[in-house]
C-alpha cells in the first residue's frame, strides 16, 4: 500500500498546490500580468499537470506496462472529480472566489490533453 502511495506522491503534492491556489483570494494575483483568457489557460495547465502526474503514477505502479484504455478512463474520471471539487470549494466554501462552468470546461480540456499525451507518448511506444 505504501509503495502505491509513493508512486503517486507527486500527484498528491500537486493536488495540494492546486487546492491552495484555488483557495487564495483573487486579489492576491493582481500583481501578476494578465490578459483575457489567462484564467482559463491556467486552469487547463493545472489539470494537464495533475493528470500527467497521475499517468506517471500509473506507469510506475504497473512497472511500465499498464493497459491502454483503462488508465485513460480512470484518470479522466479522477481528474474531472477533482476539477468539480475545486469548483464546488470555490463556489460554496471560499465565497471570495467563484465557481465557474467555463473553468470546469478549461479543466476538462487539460484532462483531455493529458490523456492524448499519454496515448501519443507512452502507449504507442511501449510495444
Sketch the domain layout of the chain as residue ranges.
Answer: 1-125
Please give the pLDDT value at position 39.
79
At residue 115 the predicted structure's pLDDT band, cuts being 50, 70 and 90, is: very high
Whole-angstrom Cα Rg for the chain: 16
The residue to which cell 472529480 is assigned: 81
Please give the pLDDT value at position 24.
76
Amino acid at each position: 500500500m505504501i509503495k502505491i502511495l509513493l508512486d503517486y506522491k507527486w500527484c498528491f503534492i500537486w493536488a495540494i498546490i492546486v487546492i491552495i491556489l484555488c483557495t487564495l483570494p483573487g486579489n492576491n494575483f493582481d500583481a501578476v500580468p494578465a490578459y483575457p483568457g489567462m484564467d482559463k489557460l491556467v486552469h487547463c495547465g493545472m489539470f494537464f499537470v495533475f493528470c500527467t502526474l497521475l499517468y506517471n503514477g500509473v506507469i510506475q505502479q504497473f512497472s511500465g506496462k499498464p493497459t491502454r484504455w483503462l488508465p485513460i478512463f480512470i484518470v479522466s474520471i479522477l481528474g474531472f472529480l477533482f476539477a468539480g471539487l475545486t469548483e464546488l470549494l470555490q463556489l460554496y466554501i471560499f465565497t471570495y472566489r467563484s465557481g465557474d462552468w467555463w473553468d470546469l470546461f478549461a479543466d476538462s480540456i487539460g484532462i483531455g490533453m493529458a490523456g492524448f499525451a499519454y496515448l501519443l507518448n507512452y502507449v504507442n511506444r511501449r510495444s
